[in-house]
Structure formats: structure tokens, C-alpha cells
A and B are shown apart, each in its own frame.
Chain A
Amino acid sequence: MPTISYYLGRSAQSNVEEALQAAKNASDYNALLHLTEERAVKRAAMVDAGEISGRLAGVPFVVKDNFLAFDGPTTAASRILQNFNAPVQATVVEKLEAEGAICIGKANLDSFAHGSSTENSAFGVTKNAVDPTRVAGGSSGGSAVAVKLGIVPFSLGTDTGGSIRQPASFNGVVGVKPTYGMTSRYGVVSMASSTDVMGCFALTAEDAELVIEIMAGQDSRDMTTLPDYFAPEAANAPMKIGVIRDFMTEGTDEGVRARVVDYTKQLEAKGHIVEEVSLPMAKYSLAMYYIVVPAEIASNLARYDGVRYGVRAESTTTIEELYGKSREQGFGAESKRRILIGNYVLSSGFFDAYYQKAQKARQLLINEFNELFSSYDILISPVVPTAAFGIGENTDDPMKMYLSDAMTVGVSMAGLPALSVPAGESNGMPVGVQLIANAQKDALLFDLAKSMETKQ
């Protein structure tokens, strides 16, 4: 599978042509919702003419369809935005384009990024790149599959509770969820503002690091971005690495646990110190996540009312009916479920009992992470308790679906950076390990992951 270096120095037009062709050949996977062909071809010609240059000159990529980008609609895989054409582009898309990268299409996702399998897309499920009878994972399923299939060497996703890390694990690619605030959220359809992070998929940690380095940085259009800090660095001394015991219990498939153990053995072989650590608050992370995040979802989705943009229900007579029908028709079942939960936990009389309590628990979890990072450089856990499950297997059971997020949501609640790196297979399906660092220590993760890749 060609990495970024393969595309550099080649004709951008042939890069784009090949990528578009590969995308069309792989249409059965439903990884991409639409191709931004016209603009991609135009930009490729400009790169070849020397009008655009940069570190990613002529390298094709795709973005999850919740990033605002030109040439075609930005749907967030929802009915309500299926006709929404963005008048501006996301900051991170602009930054990549400024380095010469060429967006060739928009990737499928769970509608509004609500889901863990890309089965909640309004435009059909995305199939796993390794086994098309299984889910791609989600919510950034299309972006993960596009990289695994070799359509593009990298892609963008959003990670609110594991939406990059989990599909990376399910498809056997590298997935990056940076520190909260390292990458700008401007121009990306908001899911949960306090945990939304823009990240990427790539085939190697080296490629992923280059993409993140370009994406990172303070943005005057997003007040929650951190001051610039990301710079690749090499850690010299052996690292102290903690394996999170709470995620290595019987609730996690044996094959998944075995791959984590393999990975830690390789780390030890490289001279790193590996110890078991415990994170007692981890068992509450799903509970706090599924209170705070739906609250923010309910709030962030309030703007989709059919009045100013997007799809408006027809033949309504009152404003209430217009709102009700537009939202009824425009949102999928999972989004509606989260809107209901969110409004419930925010409603008068329940706010303290749910939302406030969850925020307190969140602080306790952050405290535990801080404590661990006072002694450890990196924490390790599985990404998901299982490998990719079958399409339709969990769709009737939202709780079971939510459980697949158990190991990723805590990291999101704490705003920490994490990588999902391929670690072999379990019953023939790829599984990843999750490497977690303290806030703003993203470079440390890449340093470790890269050192592990060169040995393979």
C-alpha cells in the first residue's frame, strides 16, 4: 500500500486520476459519499504547473463528510443537510490544501458522527476494508476504509469518543486523536464541543505525524484551540509505560488482549519499562460520556430547524410543525435518541443529578489520569474490546453498541491525545492498541509508534 512518499514528486494529475479511479472501483464498500472530482482535477493541474507547492503537493486525501469543504454538499451523512453546500472550508482542510494536498472526496460516517459502526449513515453502511460482511467501525468509518483500501494515503476524521481510534482498529490502520484543542474545530459540523477533535488516518505513524503537524495550531476562529505547541521530537530515555489493567479484563476478547500483551513485550524488548496500572474511574467513563455528550449534541443540533438551510419539511402550516417535521424527517434514529437523552439530562430538576454529576466524575477521571502521568510517559490499552463485528449484529441493541466505546471515551472526556496503531489480528481481523499520552504530549506518541514500526 503506497504511503505519502510514493505520491510526492509524481504527477499530481496522475495521483488524482488513480485515486479517483480506485475510489470508483471500490464503490461497493460505500466508503465515499461523493467525489470532489472537478476541484481535485483543477488543483492537480495547478500543482503540476507549479502554482501550488508544499509538503503534501499532489497527495490525494479524503475528508469525513462532516468537514465543510468545497465542491459538493457537506451532509454529515444526514438527510437534513443533504443539500447543504458549504460556503467556507474547515481550517484543517485549508491548511492541508495550503501544503498542496488534494481532497478527492467526502467519506461516509454515522449521521452527525453518532455511532460506532457507520451503520447510522443516512446513505448506507460502509463495509469493512478487510471483511466486507463486517462493519467499518465508526463514526469515521469511510475515512478508515478509504486508507486501508489504498484509495488515498491519508484521510481526515473526527473523534468525539473514539470515532477515529475505533475504525482504525477495525480496519488495521493508524488513527490519531490529538489533544483536545490542538486542531481547530472551525468548519466542522459540531457533535460535542467539549470533546470533538479533528484527527487523521494513515498507513504509518510517520505519515500520520506529518499530517497532524500540518493540521495542528491555534486558530483565531476557534477559541478552544491551544497555543501552537506541536513539534516532532525524539524521546531518548527508555519510556515508562503503564498498561491499564481495568481494560484487560474478561470483558475484552482474548485475542485483543493477546495483541496488547504482544505489543508490550516488544516495548520491553526495546528497553522500555512496562507496568500494570489501574484507572478506577474508567468504569464510569461510559456513563459520564453518555450524559455530557448527548447534552452537547442536543444543544449543537438545535440549529437544524429547517428555517435557514438544509432540508425543510413540506406543507406545514405552523412554525412548530415546520420544526417538528423537518427534524423528524432530517434526523436518524440514533441522533433522535441522543437529542432526547441530552434534553432530558439538561432539563430543570435533572441538570444537577445528571449533567453536573457527570462533570464532577469527569474531573475525578482527569485527576486519575494526571496522577498516572506523574509516573508514566504513556498508557496502553486495547482500543475496542473486540475486532470488527458483523453488519447488523449490534444495531438493535444500543447499549451493546455503546459498550464498544468503553476504552476510548475516557480519553476523550479527559481531552488526552491517543493513537490507535495496528497490532496484528484476532481471528483474522485486525486489532489495534491504544497509546495514550498526557495532554500536549502528542509528539511522544508518534515517537514511540514510529520506533515500533521500523522494527516490524
Chain B
Amino acid sequence: MDSKWQMTIGIECHVQLATKSKLFSPADNDARNKEPNAVVHPIDYGLPGMLPLLNKQAVHLTVRAAKALNASVAEVSRFDRKHYFYPDLPMGYQITQMYHPTIGAGSVTAPLPDGSNVTVGIHHAHIESDAGKQTHYSDHTLVDLNRAGTPLIEIVSQPDMHSPAEARAFCTELYRLMTYAGVTHGDLYHGNMRFDVNISVAPAGSDELGKRAEVKNLNSFRSVEKAAEYEFKRQVALLEKGETIVQETRGWNDATQKTTSQRSKEDAQDYRYMPDPDIPPIILTIDEVQSIQSEVGMLPGEYREAFSALRLDSSVVNTLLSNKAHAETVHAVLGQSPKAAMRVANWYASVFKEDESETDSDVETGIDPTDLLELANMAEQQEVSSTAAKEIFMALASGQTGPREIARAKNLVQVSDENALGAIVDDVLADEASAKSVADIKAGNDKAIGYLVGQVMKKSKGTANPSLAQKLIRERL
């Protein structure tokens, strides 16, 4: 990165809450794979005379989110109306929390690839309802209100990040926190978390921030990082030419890997915020908050602490943590056997790439820890080879159960019986094709034993224990 300039990044993240129904109506909150306008209640539709009914589960999940963000919960919070006209906004206003948000200040500490951490302050997080969707055609536009009224929390960070890697790390950790706390399904493909990234550039060492551009609606950690990289270069280039940065909203084009201008500040609307008189304030006592937050299970930081005993590479830990089910499973194995847990962790890390969740949802249920413990013991006892163990692990990950049965069915059990293996070794040594290798070994070329072991493996269809095979060959020569 150009050392003459420093960048500052603040992020707003919209998190779709995993509620059954919408924020203010009984309509189904799951709009995936539904016909347009199939899950719309008269409240979402803005029918005259309809009044919002606050979804208690949404408040509940918000209180959980506060715990994950290490943030305070307001005793009294309120809803406000944000007005603008748009066909996908049926009431002419969005219900949000402008003045008294439910979640107050907090902080998130995210691990960086180099093993260090970045700590990002949370300014606040507020509850709001989502708008619908428009599809434009050449001479008309269609409106789909399935998503209208979906509950969101918008998490607003402090401008505490100074590199694209930090921005990515923060978003990734935020994702883990929100999924671990059960706040969201975390389906990034369906936009369950969307990031607005504010980026500004100033001369290195400057106390003042530069004018910022906001890149809106990013839906992957990668695009957050790439957009920040692009914006840094773009803004530095402008500043070095002596030009000024326009405060504006920009969009990210995944195909061209560029940001483009969407709206300048001059076009900014006056939202005429007003307290919503239809919705009484949310009142949460300390006892209520504690009772709700006690339901939150282990958070990523707690897993990291638990896994530190395994002395795993930090990249292995983070890969593991990118899926809550994986972390839970390894933690369960850890309770039985740290040695087995280490093996299992490495299997997970080698099979599942980090950020895999970007294209997948939370449907994966995880593997029975008992099966994994058994598999780890089989590997430990050399009942299966390390390659075979991984193959069995993948079979378990795809939903099969019983590692021993899988090993048997796939013929992966190592032959460690000296009599049985001895017979194969005898066969191989008796083969004329082996004569040259045998001669080489006797002449002192020890490497030649590899060929013989290979033949044993081949003849045993891969089930021979290679080290035992080698031992038996040597005994016979």
C-alpha cells in the first residue's frame, strides 16, 4: 500500500434477522424461491387502516446480537419513520430507529491473516424493516414486495479500519458473530448480510479524514476487500492529480471489479424523520436482557480460546470458525480427546475452504462427534491410512454415518495382520518383475524398496499398512 496515504474505513452492515415472520406483520419472512408478492400481508402492502405489529422475536434476536457485538442494550428504544417515495416502499416511509436505537456502543475484535487482530468500535445498531424489490423492463417496472418488511439490524461501525484486509476481517468476524449468536441464517447468496463500506483517504499521519465515498450493497467479504482496494487506488490517483474527492454513493461491479458513481451528496434526500406514533417504545429490563442473552451459545472468541490448546495454525482455526457447525463439532471432540480434535480440525481445514459460507447457507448440520472420535482413533491406530481417513471424513461430511462401516464398504481398512500381509509380500517378492529391485536393495540402493511397497499396495488394493509392508519386506531380504 502507498505509504504516503492512509485510508480509513467504516462499515455499515445490514443483517437479516432469522425470524419466522416479518418485522411488523405475520407474513412469512422466508422469501427465497417464492413467486413475486406471495408473502405479503396487508400491513406490508400499506393498505389503509393497517397498523404495524412489532415482532417480539425480532427484538429477541436483536438483544442476542448485542451480546455478540459486546454492546449495551437500551432500556428504552423507539422506532422512527424515514420518508421517501419509491415504488418498493409501500407506506412511503421505512420504519427504523433514528433517535433511540436498541443496541448501543460495542466492539468487535477480528483476526487478521498474519495472526494479529483488529479491534473495531461499534457506534450503535438499529432495527429496521427492509424494502421490496423492483425489476425494470424497457417500458415498465415490476414491484415485488416479498422482502418488504423483512427485519434487519443495521450495525454501524466506527471508522476504525485502515486496510482492505482489516475491512474483510471485520466483515468476516461480524458474519461469524451473527451466525453463532443465531441472529441470522447468514445466507450471503440471498443477501442475508449486506455491507456498505465508507472509504476515505488522507495524507499519512493526518488527523483529519478525507472526503468519503460509500460503496453500497456488497454481499461478500471478498467484494468488501476488493472494493476497498479499488477505492484506495482511485482516490489516491485523484488526490495525486490535485483533484478532490466527491462525497458520493458508489456501486460495486463484480464483473469489472470497479466501483462506479451512483448518487452524489447534492442529491441526498431529506428523509423527514419522525417518531413512529403507531409503535410503543421497546422497554427491556436488565433481567429480560440477561435472560435472552443467556441463550446465546459459545461465540467465536470463546472457541478460539478453547482451540488454543491444540496449537493449530491460525488459518486452520479461522477456516474452522467460518462454519459454526464445524467449530461446535471440533469442540465436542475436544471434550473427549484433544489429540483426536487436532486431527479433526485439520480434516475440516483441508476439506472446507475459508469463506465457503459465501455461497452456502446454514443448512449443513455437521457430523456426529462420536463418529469423528472413532475415525480419529482409527487413524491413530493405523486401522486406516491418512488418505483413507480423509476420504471417510468426506463421506461423513456428506451425510453418511459409521466410519468403520464406511471403511469396510470402501475397502479402506488397512491390512495390519502380519500373516495376511506376509502372504502378499511373498507373492510380490516371488514375482520376476521384482528381481531388479531386490538386487538393487541388496547392492545398497535402499530407495528401491519403494517399488516393492508400491507393488504390495497395488496387490492389496491399497489396504496394506505401508510401514508394516516395508518391515516385512526387509525381514525377508
Contact = CB atoms under 8 A, between A and B. Distances in A.
Nearest to B269: A348
Interface residues of B, number: 30
Contacts of A308: 45-46, 90
A223 interface: yes
Nearest to A319: B87
A302 B273 contact: no
B270 interface: yes
Contacts of A323: 85
Contacts of B277: 192-194, 224, 296
Interface string A191-227: 0111000000000000000000000000011111000
B204 interface: no
A220 B93 contact: no
Given A193-B277, A223-B53, A296-B277, A305 B48 contact: no
A343 B90 CA distance: 18
Interface stretch (A52-60, A82-90, A134-142, A368-376): A82-90
B141 A346 contact: no
B297 interface: no
Contacts of A185: 49, 51
B271 to A, nearest CB: 8
Nearest to B276: A193
B394 interface: no
B81 A299 contact: yes
Contacts of B118: none
Interface in B63-94: 81, 83, 85, 87, 90-93
Interface in A325-350: 343, 346-348
Contacts of A88: 42, 47, 49
Contacts of A220: 53
Contact of B274 (A76, A81, A186, A296): A296
B310 interface: no
Given A305-B92, A346-B274, A299 B83 contact: yes
Nearest to B86: A319
A190 B273 contact: no
A216 B54 CA distance: 22
A209 B99 CA distance: 40
A418 interface: no
Interface in B158-193: none
Majority secondary structure of chain A interface residues (helix, strand, loop or mixed)? loop
Contacts of B81: 299
B280 A90 contact: no
Contact of A223 (B52, B87, B92, B270): B52
Nearest to A194: B277
Contacts of B46: 303, 308
A442 B154 CA distance: 43
A222 B141 CA distance: 33
A6 interface: no
B272 A347 contact: yes
Nearest to B280: A223
A18 to B, nearest CB: 30
Nearest to B268: A348
A346 B273 contact: yes
Contact of B47 (A87, A223, A224): A87
Contacts of A90: 49
A295 interface: yes
Interface string B55-67: 0000000000000
Contact of B93 (A81, A86, A299): A299
A133 to B, nearest CB: 34
A87 B41 CA distance: 12
A307 interface: yes
A190 B277 CA distance: 11
A189 B278 contact: no
B270 A347 contact: yes
A303 B272 contact: no
A309 B47 contact: yes
B299 interface: no
Contacts of A68: 48-49
A46 to B, nearest CB: 25
Interface in A291-312: 295-296, 298-299, 301-303, 305, 307-309
Contact of A319 (B52, B90, B141): B141
B22 to A, nearest CB: 15
A189 B87 contact: no
A188 B108 CA distance: 46
Nearest to A192: B277
B49 A188 contact: yes
A221 B278 CA distance: 11
A13 to B, nearest CB: 30
Nearest to B46: A303
Interface string B270-302: 101110111110000000000000000000000
A303 B280 contact: no
Interface string B174-218: 000000000000000000000000000000000000000000000
A74 B87 contact: no
B351 interface: no
A299 B84 CA distance: 10
B93 A302 contact: yes
A247 interface: no
B90 to A, nearest CB: 6
Interface string B304-319: 0000000000000000
A223 B274 contact: no
B143 A307 contact: yes
A194 B276 CA distance: 9
A189 B274 contact: no
A324 B42 CA distance: 24
A351 interface: yes
B49 A86 contact: yes
A364 to B, nearest CB: 18
Nearest to B145: A308
A355 interface: yes
Contact of A295 (B52, B92, B270, B274): B274
Nearest to A91: B49
Nearest to A187: B49
Contact of A303 (B51, B92, B276, B279): B92
A351 B49 contact: no
A223 B54 contact: yes
Given A87-B42, A302-B85, A305-B92, A223 B49 contact: no
A74 to B, nearest CB: 7
Contacts of A298: 272
A73 to B, nearest CB: 11
A267 to B, nearest CB: 36
Contacts of B143: 307
Interface string B84-119: 010100111100000000000000000000000000
A190 B50 CA distance: 9
Given A302-B83, A308-B45, A343-B272, A223 B51 contact: yes
Nearest to A88: B42
Contacts of A303: 46, 48, 90-92
A26 to B, nearest CB: 28
Interface string B24-56: 000000000000000000100111111111100
Nearest to B92: A302
Given A74-B48, A186-B49, A223-B53, A307 B87 contact: yes
Nearest first, the 6 A-B pairs at minimum CB distance are A302-B92, A346-B272, A193-B277, A194-B277, A303-B46, A187-B49
Given A302-B93, A303-B90, A343-B272, 15 more contacts: A88-B42, A187-B49, A188-B49, A190-B51, A192-B277, A222-B51, A223-B52, A295-B274, A296-B274, A296-B277, A305-B87, A308-B46, A323-B85, A346-B274, A347-B270
Interface of A: 68, 74, 76, 81, 84, 86-88, 90, 185-190, 192-194, 220-224, 295-296, 298-299, 301-303, 305, 307-309, 319, 323, 343, 346-348, 351, 355
15 contacts: A86-B49, A87-B47, A187-B49, A190-B49, A221-B53, A223-B53, A224-B277, A299-B83, A299-B272, A302-B85, A305-B85, A346-B274, A347-B270, A348-B270, A351-B274
